[in-house]
Amino acid sequence: MGVTMKDIKELRSRTGAGVLDCKKALNEVDGDVEAAVEFLREKGMAAAAKKAGRVAAEGLVSLNISDDRKKGILVEVNSETDFVAKNDQFQTLVSDISDHLMQSEAEEVEAVENEKWFKDESQTVNDVIKASIASIGENINLRRFKRVETDGYLFGYIHMGGKIGVLVEYANEFNEEKAQTAKDIAMHIAAINPEFLDRASVDSTSIEKEKKIYREQMLNEGKPEHILDQIIEGKINKYYTQVCLLEQPFVRNDDQTVSEILEENDMEVKQFTRFEIGEGIEKKEEDFAAEVAAMTKNQ
């Protein structure tokens, strides 16, 4: 018996599983929808699919750097609650995903999810995540990752047990004398959250947006037209000190800029990545009364 779109649609409706999972299940059982429902339940995919619609904005950021500091991974894996983020099983999953990414060459999350799991090639990464969803009981989502390979060296920092993670690429060769400064810079990035490395990294759209805001502010304050450009230039210079890593006052000594600290230690930052758990995810406000009513209705 062949697999039809009608069968896939029915199975998806009954289990909430994804289209590809439904198709795979139907192929496994020669197109028998009832058997496919049981197949998905046994694999935990039906349970996982029902949870997959829930917002996952907690979780962990994990950092993985090779012994020679030439290759590194920063990855964010989300869960629904901070409680699960502290769960040993979830933490092991995140660590394993990070290890998988170290040996992967995929550049996108979707490509990673479809890869054979590095510990067991009979499963995909997505299979492992879905099994964890079914076991743990919360939606889990591999949200993003950053892989860096360098001729220089990498240093990183994890803050608050995985709430914030930073991966920094430095030029030249690593030596232990630079380790503390390299870590301090990573800690600075975690704490201050610069948006750009330097002035050259700031896109022109951001600058024009700031200039427009400043101009409107000055006009509203009644400042004369002929001095606006000079005032705006000063404000833009201050803006650079707020958003550019190299121009920011160093968090451990605000008498010096990050650039001055690096110069003192003969160091150069080439790039950095900072992940903070849940940033940019719109958290759903739960209506408890409505949730209880819905649960009662479904019973």
For the domain spanning 54-149, the CATH number is 3.30.479.20
Average pLDDT over residues 200-225: 91
Which tokens hold the place of 77? 């894996």
What does residue 82 show for φ and ψ, rounded to 5 degrees? -70, -30
The model scores a pTM over 0.85: no
Which tokens hold the place of 121? 């090639």
What does residue 282 show for φ and ψ, rounded to 5 degrees? -80, 115
Average pLDDT over residues 80-103: 96
The model's pLDDT over 102-158, given as tens digits with 9 standing for 90+, comes to: 999 999 999 999 999 999 999 999 999 999 998 898 999 999 999 999 999 999 999
Q: What is the pLDDT of residue 40?
A: 79
Task: Check whether 85 has a pLDDT greater than 80.
Answer: yes
Average pLDDT over residues 284-288: 48
The Cα–Cα gap between 150 and 141 comes to 28
Q: What is the pLDDT of residue 286?
A: 46
Q: What is the pLDDT of residue 283?
A: 66
Q: What is the pLDDT of residue 247?
A: 98
Question: Which residue is associated with the tokens 């020669």?
Answer: 30
Average pLDDT over residues 266-282: 93
Please, which pLDDT band fits residue 11 given cuts at 50, 70 and 90?
Answer: confident
Which tokens hold the place of 41? 């339940």
How many residues are recorded in the chain?
A: 299
Which tokens hold the place of 125? 């990464």
Q: What is the pLDDT of residue 94?
A: 98
* Amino acid, single-letter form, for residue 225: E
* Amino acid, single-letter form, for residue 147: R
- Please indicate whether the domains covering 5-51 and 54-149 agree at the CATH topology level: no
| DSSP string of 248-266, one letter each residue | SEETTEEEEEHHHHHHHTT
Please, which pLDDT band fits residue 38 given cuts at 50, 70 and 90?
Answer: confident
The model's pLDDT over 49-71, given as tens digits with 9 standing for 90+, comes to: 556 656 678 999 999 999 999 99
The Cα–Cα gap between 111 and 125 comes to 10
Say how many CA atoms lie within 13 Å of 163 toward its Cβ.
Answer: 9
For the domain spanning 5-51, the CATH number is 1.10.8.10
Going from N- to C-terminal start, the domains of the chain cover 5-51, 54-149
Task: Check whether 291 has a pLDDT greater than 60.
Answer: no
The Cα–Cα gap between 106 and 211 comes to 39
Check residues 8 and 290 and name the one with the higher pLDDT.
Answer: 8
Are 95 and 123 in contact by the 8 Å Cβ rule? The answer is no
Q: What is the pLDDT of residue 194?
A: 97
